[in-house]
Protein backbone atom coordinates (compact mmCIF):
# COMPACT_ATOMS: atom_id res chain seq x y z
CA UNK A 1 0.00 0.00 0.00
CA UNK A 2 1.36 3.40 -0.99
CA UNK A 3 2.00 5.92 1.73
CA UNK A 4 -0.20 9.02 1.68
CA UNK A 5 1.51 12.35 1.27
CA UNK A 6 0.45 15.66 2.67
CA UNK A 7 0.73 18.37 0.04
CA UNK A 8 1.40 21.83 1.40
CA UNK A 9 -0.33 24.56 -0.54
CA UNK A 10 1.24 27.88 -1.37
CA UNK A 11 -0.23 31.11 -0.06
CA UNK A 12 -1.52 31.75 -3.60
CA UNK A 13 -3.33 28.39 -3.65
CA UNK A 14 -4.82 28.98 -0.21
CA UNK A 15 -6.06 32.39 -1.37
CA UNK A 16 -7.79 30.71 -4.33
CA UNK A 17 -9.41 28.22 -1.97
CA UNK A 18 -10.71 31.08 0.15
CA UNK A 19 -12.19 32.81 -2.90
CA UNK A 20 -14.03 29.63 -3.90
CA UNK A 21 -15.36 29.27 -0.36
CA UNK A 22 -16.49 32.88 -0.25
CA UNK A 23 -18.23 32.42 -3.60
CA UNK A 24 -20.13 29.42 -2.22
CA UNK A 25 -21.27 31.43 0.79
CA UNK A 26 -22.31 34.34 -1.42
CA UNK A 27 -24.29 31.95 -3.62
CA UNK A 28 -26.28 30.68 -0.63
CA UNK A 29 -26.88 34.28 0.48
CA UNK A 30 -28.13 35.05 -3.04
CA UNK A 31 -30.50 32.06 -3.09
CA UNK A 32 -31.97 32.64 0.38
CA UNK A 33 -34.74 35.06 -0.76
CA UNK A 34 -36.00 32.37 -3.16
CA UNK A 35 -36.68 29.97 -0.29
CA UNK A 36 -40.40 30.57 0.13
CA UNK A 37 -43.65 28.74 -0.48
CA UNK A 38 -44.57 28.27 -4.14
CA UNK A 39 -41.01 28.17 -5.50
CA UNK A 40 -39.79 24.98 -7.16
CA UNK A 41 -36.42 23.47 -6.43
CA UNK A 42 -35.73 23.65 -10.18
CA UNK A 43 -36.16 27.43 -10.08
CA UNK A 44 -33.58 27.61 -7.28
CA UNK A 45 -31.23 25.33 -9.24
CA UNK A 46 -31.54 27.38 -12.40
CA UNK A 47 -30.83 30.64 -10.57
CA UNK A 48 -27.82 29.04 -8.86
CA UNK A 49 -26.45 27.94 -12.25
CA UNK A 50 -27.01 31.38 -13.80
CA UNK A 51 -25.41 33.20 -10.85
CA UNK A 52 -22.46 30.82 -10.71
CA UNK A 53 -21.65 31.33 -14.39
CA UNK A 54 -22.09 35.08 -14.03
CA UNK A 55 -19.38 34.99 -11.36
CA UNK A 56 -16.88 33.13 -13.55
CA UNK A 57 -17.30 29.71 -11.96
CA UNK A 58 -18.91 26.40 -12.85
CA UNK A 59 -21.24 24.22 -10.81
CA UNK A 60 -19.11 21.20 -9.87
CA UNK A 61 -22.05 18.82 -9.20
CA UNK A 62 -23.48 19.26 -12.73
CA UNK A 63 -22.55 16.10 -14.62
CA UNK A 64 -20.45 14.64 -11.79
CA UNK A 65 -20.98 10.87 -12.02
CA UNK A 66 -24.15 11.63 -13.96
CA UNK A 67 -25.68 14.09 -11.46
CA UNK A 68 -28.20 16.07 -13.56
CA UNK A 69 -28.36 19.42 -11.74
CA UNK A 70 -26.14 22.22 -10.44
CA UNK A 71 -27.04 22.05 -6.74
CA UNK A 72 -28.59 19.60 -4.29
CA UNK A 73 -31.93 20.45 -2.70
CA UNK A 74 -32.92 18.13 0.12
CA UNK A 75 -36.38 18.72 1.55
CA UNK A 76 -37.67 17.45 4.89
CA UNK A 77 -36.80 13.74 5.29
CA UNK A 78 -34.34 13.69 2.37
CA UNK A 79 -30.97 13.48 4.09
CA UNK A 80 -28.72 14.69 1.27
CA UNK A 81 -28.18 14.99 -2.48
CA UNK A 82 -31.80 15.69 -3.38
CA UNK A 83 -32.20 16.42 -7.09
CA UNK A 84 -34.02 19.66 -7.98
CA UNK A 85 -37.09 19.35 -10.18
CA UNK A 86 -39.98 21.47 -11.37
CA UNK A 87 -42.63 19.40 -9.59
CA UNK A 88 -41.00 19.80 -6.17
CA UNK A 89 -42.64 22.98 -4.88
CA UNK A 90 -41.69 24.42 -1.49
CA UNK A 91 -44.52 24.54 1.04
CA UNK A 92 -44.98 26.48 4.25
CA UNK A 93 -43.32 24.55 7.08
CA UNK A 94 -40.82 22.64 4.92
CA UNK A 95 -37.15 22.60 5.72
CA UNK A 96 -34.70 22.55 2.84
CA UNK A 97 -30.97 22.04 2.75
CA UNK A 98 -29.30 23.63 -0.26
CA UNK A 99 -25.84 22.27 -1.06
CA UNK A 100 -23.67 24.24 -3.49
CA UNK A 101 -20.21 23.62 -4.92
CA UNK A 102 -19.00 26.32 -7.28
CA UNK A 103 -15.62 25.59 -8.83
CA UNK A 104 -13.53 28.70 -9.32
CA UNK A 105 -10.08 28.70 -10.88
CA UNK A 106 -9.63 24.99 -10.16
CA UNK A 107 -10.78 25.12 -6.52
CA UNK A 108 -14.09 23.94 -5.04
CA UNK A 109 -16.14 25.96 -2.58
CA UNK A 110 -18.40 23.31 -1.03
CA UNK A 111 -20.97 24.23 1.60
CA UNK A 112 -24.63 23.94 2.46
CA UNK A 113 -27.24 25.68 4.55
CA UNK A 114 -30.60 24.58 5.90
CA UNK A 115 -33.55 26.97 5.60
CA UNK A 116 -37.03 27.01 7.08
CA UNK A 117 -39.72 27.70 4.48
CA UNK A 118 -42.39 30.25 5.31
CA UNK A 119 -43.75 30.78 8.80
| E-state strands within 1-119 | 58-59, 72-75, 95-100, 102-104, 107-108, 111-116
- Domains of the chain listed by start with CATH number: 11-116 (3.90.230.10)
Q: Tell how many helices (H) and how many strands (E) occur in the chain.
A: 2, 6
For residues 108 and 52, give the distance between their C-alpha atoms in angstroms, rounded to a whole number. Answer: 12
Q: Does pLDDT of 3 surpass 90? A: no
103, β-bridge pairs: 58, 108
What value does the mean pLDDT take over residues 17-42? 98
Per-residue model confidence (pLDDT) at position 48: 98
Per-residue model confidence (pLDDT) at position 80: 87
Q: Does pLDDT of 20 surpass 90? A: yes
What value does the mean pLDDT take over residues 46-72? 97
DSSP letters spanning 88-107:
-B--TT-EEEEEE-EEETTE
For residues 10 and 3, give the distance between their C-alpha atoms in angstroms, rounded to a whole number. Answer: 22
**Percentage of the residues of the chain whose pLDDT score is greater than 70:** 99
Write the burial class of residue 116 (CB in 10 Å: 0-12 exposed, 13-18 middle, 19+ buried).
exposed
Amino acid sequence: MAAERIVLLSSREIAKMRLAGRLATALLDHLEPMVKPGVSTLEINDEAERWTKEHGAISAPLGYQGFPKSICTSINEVVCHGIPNGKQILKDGDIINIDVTPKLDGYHGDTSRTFFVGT
